[in-house]
Chain A
Amino acid sequence: MALLERINAAARKKVFSLQEAFILAWNAIRFIFVPPFYREDVIQQMDSIGVQSLGIVVLTGFFTGMVLALQSAVQMQRFGATTYVGSLVTASMIRELGPVLAGLMVAGRVGSGIAAQIGSMRVTEQIDALNVMGTDPIKKLVTPRLIAALLMLPALTVINDVAGIFGGNVIAKFYLQLPTSLYWATVWDQISNGGFVLRFIPNDFVHGLIKPFVFGGIISLTACHFGLRTTGGTEGVGVSTTRTVVTASILILVTDYFITQALLALLPS
């Protein structure tokens, strides 16, 4: 009986937490359209989430592109198909690795930062102080971070994709001795063969930019949710930070699968 009661209590706690997360998400989205608008906070967060993540995103994309080209070159050399390295790197980066890697990197770097900052504000009563001064903490803290993440994740993903394709180019040129013009021709072939939406926007780009938009929402809302629920002093801040990174990473990977399924059904190549 005691075991059943414990399971029941744990399940209720999880459901309650999920309900809180959805209410937080709803309010954060609703407040995007309700004044006052904290423009300065949005710009500050865009700098923190976007500009300051540039280094890690470029580095990750560049080396992933290099590894992709290197691994595929080894296999392709057996069939004499090394000219298609550009095509393979482009498809992998734009459709899949670019969005997911940028998402995971930002979840680690920015998600943990947001959770730690809001968690510290919670345990030092700064969130209560906002409430007491008649400011809604969701509007002041969560909505600017959500807007910034929604805008910056797609931008970071494009930069990650480009860095990856350049990384592939380095391997193609110096390891496979492929002419750069040939490499970029295969890159364009891949992009154009995927088909276009509204005649101009490559399908691969649509695939690649819808995902980071969703991931931006996941990262910012997960981090704010755990940050606002922080209890137990500095130890609690550490717990919230870890939970944010783990939960956001899992959600990114799971959501990625379902978005891919949906996009393949809606926008077949």
Chain B
Amino acid sequence: MTDRDDDHDAIQTERVRAAIRDEIQADEDRDDSPPPHGAPVIELRDVWLAFDRPILEGVSFAARKGETVTVVGESGTGKSTIVKLILRLLVADRGEVFIRGKDIEKVTYEEALKIRQRMGMVFQSSALFDSLTVYENVAYPLREHTNLSDDEIGERVREKLRFVDLDPDEVTQLAPSELSGGMQKRVGIARGLAANPGIMLYDEPTSGLDPLTTGIITNLIMKLQRELHVTSVVVTHDIRSAFRMSSKIALLHDRHIVFFGSPEEMAASDDKYIQTFLGGY
């Protein structure tokens, strides 16, 4: 490889990234009633939710375009519930959840399905379809919801796998069970990214991974924000990763958001619970 080849590859890569950014922007421009400029892409306003016991009380926070907001907290405090509310897999008892300025709680089920198609989600367990190959998993949202040709889908799948640092030639025909935990997570991210969504949601993306793989996944989430300006909400209890990748951190404790701010503000806080939670990080 000569320097000229390297330059050519870099230019090509940047062109692809720019095309994806344009596609995301064009998708947002197609909205019937686009949100006001500078308005949050995701916003929870005074959300209350209870099942057999109260889960969330008066939860509010917002993520603006290109921001990565991380929801941290102890296990069992309802962090994953927040992601389910954003996706409208759950409906709040009180309060509002806005996605691109639209109250997702007030839309019909069919509209909610359409809104979800414009979001990517990475699950704690990766949730890859075990009856499909890696290729078919990443291609799934494209086959379901786009009119792309087989060739275009194939190219998109390879591009997404390369983005998550996987070699398409090596992994496309493998079954999810043949992949390591970290590779499954990366394929999960590639699948979430396949339709070029403007919003990515992550439920414990680094849980159960070794420190090295945790670093790789964290870097990928940062790369998405840096290169594609994707708005992300990450649910995690991994405070080290949260500090690295977050624009803002929301700390959930005892059903309430007890802190919402930048990692620096969190580290500087003299609140006793926050300091205990950080454990000297």
Knowing A128-B89, A129-B121, A129-B123, say if A134 contacts B144 (CB, 8 Å): yes
Question: Are A124 and B116 touching (Cβ within 8 A)?
Answer: no
Question: Are B127 and A131 touching (Cβ within 8 A)?
Answer: no
Of B119, B125, B140, which contacts A125 at CB under 8 A?
B125
- Give the chain B neighbours of A36 by CB distance below 8 A: 144
Q: Taking the nearest CB of chain A, how far is it from the CB of B117, in angstroms?
A: 4
Q: How many residues of A contact B (CB 8 A)?
A: 14
Q: Taking the nearest CB of chain B, how far is it from the CB of A228, in angstroms?
A: 14
Q: Is B11 an interface residue (CB 8 A)?
A: no
Question: Are B144 and A132 touching (Cβ within 8 A)?
Answer: no
- Give the chain B neighbours of A132 by CB distance below 8 A: 87, 89, 116, 119, 121
Q: Is A126 an interface residue (CB 8 A)?
A: yes
CB-based nearest B residue for A134: B117
- Give the chain A neighbours of B15 by CB distance below 8 A: none
Question: Are B113 and A129 touching (Cβ within 8 A)?
Answer: no
Of B89, B113, B123, B140, which contacts A136 at CB under 8 A?
B113
Question: Are B144 and A124 touching (Cβ within 8 A)?
Answer: no
Question: Are A125 and B127 touching (Cβ within 8 A)?
Answer: yes
Question: Are A131 and B130 touching (Cβ within 8 A)?
Answer: no
Q: Is B145 an interface residue (CB 8 A)?
A: yes
- Give the chain A neighbours of B218 by CB distance below 8 A: none
Assembled-state Cα–Cα distance A133/B127 (Å)? 12
Question: Are A128 and B116 touching (Cβ within 8 A)?
Answer: no
- Give the chain B neighbours of A19 by CB distance below 8 A: none
A117-147 contact mask (Cβ, 8 Å, vs B): 1 or 0: 0001100111011011111100000000000
B107-127 contact mask (Cβ, 8 Å, vs A): 1 or 0: 000000110110101011101
Question: Are A133 and B140 touching (Cβ within 8 A)?
Answer: yes
Knowing A134-B113, A134-B114, say if A129 contacts B145 (CB, 8 Å): no
Q: Taking the nearest CB of chain A, how far is it from the CB of B201, in angstroms?
A: 8
CB-based nearest B residue for A127: B127
- Give the chain B neighbours of A120 by CB distance below 8 A: 130
- Give the chain B neighbours of A124 by CB distance below 8 A: 125, 127, 130
- Give the chain A neighbours of B154 by CB distance below 8 A: none
Q: How many residues of B contact A (CB 8 A)?
A: 19
- For residues 224 through 274 of chain B, which have their beta carbon under 8 Å from a beta carbon of chain A? none
Question: Are A133 and B117 touching (Cβ within 8 A)?
Answer: yes
- Give the chain A neighbours of B124 by CB distance below 8 A: 125
Q: Taking the nearest CB of chain B, how far is it from the CB of A230, in angstroms?
A: 14
Question: Are A131 and B116 touching (Cβ within 8 A)?
Answer: yes
Assembled-state Cα–Cα distance A131/B130 (Å)? 16
CB-based nearest B residue for A135: B144
Question: Are B125 and A133 touching (Cβ within 8 A)?
Answer: no
Q: Is B277 an interface residue (CB 8 A)?
A: no
CB-based nearest B residue for A130: B129
CB-based nearest B residue for A120: B130
Assembled-state Cα–Cα distance A244/B96 (Å)? 39
- Give the chain B neighbours of A134 by CB distance below 8 A: 113-114, 116-117, 141, 144-145
Assembled-state Cα–Cα distance A134/B129 (Å)? 15
- For residues 63 through 102 of chain A, which have their beta carbon under 8 Å from a beta carbon of chain B? none
- Give the chain A neighbours of B144 by CB distance below 8 A: 36, 133-135
- Give the chain B neighbours of A135 by CB distance below 8 A: 113, 144
- Give the chain B neighbours of A129 by CB distance below 8 A: 121, 123, 127-129
Knowing A124-B130, A126-B130, A128-B89, say if A133 contacts B123 (CB, 8 Å): no
CB-based nearest A residue for B137: A129
CB-based nearest A residue for B84: A128
- Give the chain B neighbours of A136 by CB distance below 8 A: 113
Q: Taking the nearest CB of chain A, how far is it from the CB of B112, in angstroms?
A: 9
Assembled-state Cα–Cα distance A268/B144 (Å)? 50
Residues of B in contact with A (beta carbons under 8 Å apart): 87, 89, 113-114, 116-117, 119, 121, 123-125, 127-130, 140-141, 144-145
17 additional A-B pairs beyond A133-B144, A135-B144, beta carbons within 8 Å, are A120-B130, A124-B125, A125-B123, A125-B124, A125-B127, A126-B127, A128-B123, A128-B127, A129-B123, A129-B127, A129-B129, A131-B87, A132-B87, A133-B140, A134-B114, A135-B113, A136-B113
Task: Please list the 8 inter-chain residue pairs (A to B) with the smallest Cβ-Cβ separation, ordered nearest first.
Answer: A134-B117, A125-B127, A129-B127, A132-B121, A134-B113, A134-B116, A125-B123, A133-B141
